[in-house]
Structure 1
Amino acid sequence: MGDWNMGLGTLREGVLIKLADLLDNPKCGWRQLADAVNTQPQFRCSEKELIGCSIQVLSAKGSPSRLLLAKLADRACSLGFLLKCLKKIEHQEAVQYLNTIVMEQIRITVQPQSQRVPEGGRVVLSCQASGSPGLGYQWFIGKEEVPNGSARDLVLSHFCLSQQGYYICRVNHGESFVFSQWAQVTMSMSGNSSSASGLCITQQPWNTTNAEGDCLCLECRAEGNPPPQYQWYHNEQPMLPANKSSLKIPCVTTADRGKYSCRVYNLYHEVWSDQAHVEIGPGSLSGASWDVTDEACFTPVPARQLSHFYATDKVALLMGNMNYQYHKQLRAPMADVHELTNLLRQLDFKVVSLLDLNRQEMHSAVTEFLLLLDRGVYGLLYFAGHGYENYGNSFMVPIDAPDSYTSEHCLWVQDVLQRMQERETGLNVFLLDMCRKRNLNDDIIPQPGPLKVTANIVFGYATCVDAEAYEVNKDDLSNGIFISFLKQRLLAEEKVTVMLDRVAEDMGQCEITRGRQALELRSNLSERRALTDRIQSSDCPVVTSARNLQWAIAHVLPESRYLHFDCGVKVQLGFAAEFSNIMIIYTRILDQPQDIISCTAELSDFSEGVDVDLKLTNQENPWDTGSLLFTLETMSRPEVPRLYTRLRALQRLKKELKFTVCLHYQYSNMDEEVEEKQTVTVGKPLVAKLNLHEPRLPRSFSASSSSDLHTFSLPESSSFPEGLESSVLASETSSLGSASTCWSYFSQPGEVPGSVKQVNVPEETFSPEFLESDRPQPLCAESKSLPHDRLEDLSVQFRTKQNFHSC
């Protein structure tokens, strides 16, 4: 958020509402806070103002505390002074909440490493941390401060004997601080140590044979200056996370057999270890299994069932309908799809997330999704929106369904399931977060065709037959009841039906949902398959490559651009994806002549078909464009001024996206504002390439599902960089990783450019220039949870009827 000198008005509305909610009580609330701020005359409230606050309780949505906070914000009250007053009135919950919002936790991301250095050599100790802007660093040797040691990197140019010892770095922000680990720096006895000129591996990993269920331990140690960093590879693919000198895999399976090697590198050099061949034989999992701590000591934990199954790939289609044309608007699908997207990415699913689809678009999206399914693939389809169920048949309602809709206006769930079955997948998971009330306008009883007996179906209904599904409203965001509980369990390493059973039990224990909504499960899954099962590619790399490319088409962002105007102004144009069919465009002034005193670059004249609210374009903050999920905190320099515009419904874009960048500027010696324009064309970004607005051919899937991928071809609208198609399809050993740069995938430290990478690319990614750090990093929101992720708060969230809505 920033430092404590920032004003109260810099807090977002949702944060202020939460603070007001904590202060709306008679014992330790807004009246006590008003007395506390009176110590500063500029913040003192008159009796009339206090009466104005108190009468807010007469309004259904009124809040005395919210009005008081607004008055303090108008008077430029700082966050530091507010915190001081909250501590004075001993409101511990509000203090803790404000601390959490304003002061991100300081976390050491790069630890200093011990090293041996020859006399007169150069020592570089590095310590890096994440947290609030303006972190301070101070180095110590033992208990003594190192002179001039106030930077992230401590450099000792001419190392001598008196500088030997243990070094530690203190990272601080205000009153908060954290220490790094100790690093011992000693003098080597030989002046021609190999570490002085580069890197030297001192311990190589060894070949080993393990039984299933054993713990695999490999070691690779090196010396160097600067200290070495490590990245482990399994069968020439980078392992994440595996960036320490020791590699430990508890409870190995046959999927872990193969060749292991370690890349050792620093700022100047790189060496590779020998390859270690690991064999995994049969074993037993009876008794205790082992978990490994950072100190390399083994801690017994209860035995868990080892899954012997794997997926040849994992794909997911998430659809959320909110803005219905003729029916009640919903709020939860946006947050639900966002939450589920981030969680599934952690499980290596290739995710396509779409909001607000009409019938044709839903049908086309499902058809494209089915093309990604193949033998052994795990497929997950999730829908959140309006729905109904008649005579055992369920229907998903698109946003363009008429007032008196019937089955012919909707997507038939049982038909989609039958089409999924024909793909011979390893696992089919279908999650429906919708109501299942009867539709009295529809008296048609469709007859589904026979389902193949594959024993791989898991069906999850968010509610029971003839019941409604509910959403929780809080701040500006909402979650459905189902996702509120599902997100707590989804990453568990257990059979998918067991995981969903636990979700059902959690929902049953929540008093507010009891009697209103209960999860209903249907399954014929005969194997212990879990969403956490690992991916092991099929024996046909061409099919795998085709699937990767088919999925990747829907996730290509335009490259960042730099526009040069005649007046000498340089404008950066960048792009980021919030969902597969929602893109955010930003403009930023990079350079401007000294005689120009004001300058802004705004977007206008968008192509026909794209959905954009002109009143919400060119805003200073993403949330002012209608984006509640895309935050400035994901950027390296959020303080740099930018203007944001949010484009929705990219699936309806029939032609290339074209818009105008209008530059408004004013010279210091002129009163009038001058305007220059440039037209920009960026192709068909993200899901627009799939042309979901076009009708698909009638379904005719053969029993051999892989034939679709063997005959796979790119659509005419594909605009991948030259050579990408051939690089993915021509070679039988090619894969997504070798061409991933086209949708803004960045290599992690320790990865070899062009190496194969199995994890899917984050959807909330940026053009490379969107980040301004020295080394590009991948961006995703997978570590951010929505504000209402604590189910203990449900009793508060449902305290009034206005906060309890059915869909």
Structure 2
Amino acid sequence: MAGSLPAAPVPINRLAEPLLKKLSASLDRAAPSRGWRDLAQLAGSQGRVKLSSRELEQCSLQVLEPEGSPSWSLLQLMGERGCTVLELTELLQTLEHTEALQCLNPPSIKVVVEPESQAVLSGRMVKLSCWAAGCPLLHYQWFKEEKAIPHGNFPELVLNQVSADDAGFYICRVNSDYSYEFSHWAQLDVCDIQGACHGNCLDLPERKIHICIHPQSQNLLVGEKLILQCGAIGIPLPQYQWYRNGSPLTNGDKKVYMVSCMDTEHQGTYWCHVYNDQDNQESKKIKVIIGGKSIAVECSEEDVNDFEMSDLEEQSTERQFAIDKVALLMGNMNYYNHPKLKAPLVDVYELTNLLRQLDFKVVSLLDLTEPEMRNAVNEFLLLLDKGVYGLLYYAGHGYENYGNSFMVPIDAPNPYRAANCLCVQNILKLMQEKDTGLNVFLLDMCRKRNEYDNTVLILDALKVTANIVFGYATCQGAEAFEIQQSGLANGIFVKFLKERLLEDKKITVLLDGVAEDMGRCHLTKGKQALEIRSSLSEKRALTDPIQQTVTSVESLARNLQWAKAHELPESMCLQFTCGVQIQLGFAAEFSNVLIVYTRIVKKPPEITVCKAYVTDFPLDLDVDPKEANKGTPEETGSYLLSKDLPKHCLYTRISSLQKLKEDLTFTVCLHYEYAGVDDVVDERKVVNIGKPLIAKLRIHQGYRKKSCFQNSFMPNGPGFAPPPGAVEAGYCPPHHNHQPHSYAGFPQASPAHPGSLQPARCHCSTTPNRLVAWPATWSYPSSSSQSNIPVETTDELESDFSGSLRLSHQQ
């Protein structure tokens, strides 16, 4: 990985200026028979470069200049005549000019002490060492993943009182003036379990393994999930191997061992063998029992006899009803640090209209940050009550770890972890606590594993209420796709869901039909399939009627919250001094997207030219001046309301209303000219329309740190700390194009650990009927030879599906 001078035939004058100066100084002070004149004579005699007497004299006269150098002039002339570095090297070898040759071929750098991977307790001091030899003057720079460490310019990197944030991969770059070398990657794993070692770890020999987290015995039922965890500290980094009944387990080489669906064959004695090349230890042996105690319902023979089939038939035909129906639809598209999406715009809009036909109170929101998503869910929970039907739809980036699904806000960092996202299972638990009659979660996102996330969620079990229905747009470990049509995008899931959503069928039967429709789509067969999970034992449908027996306080609160989120400003007519009247109207595209349209409705005849526009919107809002005051809604980015808005107006689209902190005020500007007068006259009016739509709920206010949505984490859970990205260090800047980046000076031979974690939801593009994965931009280190970190891809599909439809996939 060392950098050195190029071996290609490069002209002398292409050498770096510092190197040319050093080479010239060496030739200027050389002993007789090895100076610049001898070099010129030898080059001429061998036919390389012939210089005239006048040119040699000009070189010689350089000694009269304050900083002149005859050798510099000679080398410049030789380079201009096509003399290469390789030819110059051969000439210097003939002259036996050792000093000059060393300038062209500096000694290589060799790292003699590599940094060592290790696992330590939080709060301890960690020292990583990298020592190199080969040049008298060496420079060091440490990196944590892709970022240079401030003041990390010494052979030893000392980290005082490390925490979980310090976990990750480290590398050191050593360079001289002309070459560089990278150390090996070193992984630092930080065990952050409070009191896990009971104070016994402090006196351990430095290179001994000590197990801080032991697995716990479990008593499970068939079908439940098993999660066993083991955590250890030691130098070098400990490795793990799980055993059951004395036999090593396949895929049991991580800290966490999981079985997603337990059966009787999985019960037995489990333990973990922890080892490195210095030591090895075994965890406590624990029992995993399948079956547990049987639970029976006591009843008499008479009770059994009374329970006849006629009762069952009557129950199966009885129509269910909802106390109320509420839905929250969230679509994230414009991510700060991740690929943007298209389909959530259309998907959320179309589902909103369909659910309103089913009498759902719908709040539809686009592009939410983490606190905004949490507060939106909190407002949604306020709408729930006993017997209410609650539906939550999410489209955007996402992932799934160990059976828990995570929705990714638009401000999530890269890479993101559970703490940056919303856990679906946590929200579902809070929905169940409201005693809802039906909980429907529709997740239109990818469900790939996120190994950047080294935490395990500890969640309380859901209540056995038999009212949960999950509709996953794709299977576990797979991606979701979008359809592109006339500039607008639909997700594959919603494309088929919207065709059936109004059917009067049990929700699980309806989703089964959607799954069958998706299965017949040749574009995504083998790539995406709907997965349905349900604990629904009653025949409940989205079409069930609303039946309120008593108007409760909760019902009134629901109606009030819904009204707040959908209250539009009243249309107004503005009268200007010159006699011009302007109509100002408003429409809601989403609960946080407002369309403002203006039209001149009256103009005195003496005014020949008259134009009006709106401006000066609060900085909190997303209003692009270049896309405001347009002649069509499409020009503003509003493709969905075009047919419903009045014609011959100027339109402005205002997004992100959830960020509005004060009343929404803006200025209406009027420019006009009188007949025969060249001067343009301006009039302005400031308009205050209060807090429209979702702004009334003030969900921009950040949630308290200890929110009911905060995830419970088990530190140092599955996998290891995130692998590094591209080290932004080297001698050439990166070339940004559509190919894998190439950074000069980056260790290309590091162990394979693919790509950046951004698989989330997917869309397609223009290559017919194919699925293409870009290669990983960088090679990352891994603790094992095989890695299952998802690779960032750009999958492309196209077809004549539904006429002009095209599929496109998100990176």
TM-score, with length taken from structure 2: 0.49
TM-score, with length taken from structure 1: 0.49
Bigger relative contact order, structure 1 or 2 (CA pairs below 8 A, ≥6 apart): 2
Structure 1 or 2, whichever has the larger Rg, is 2
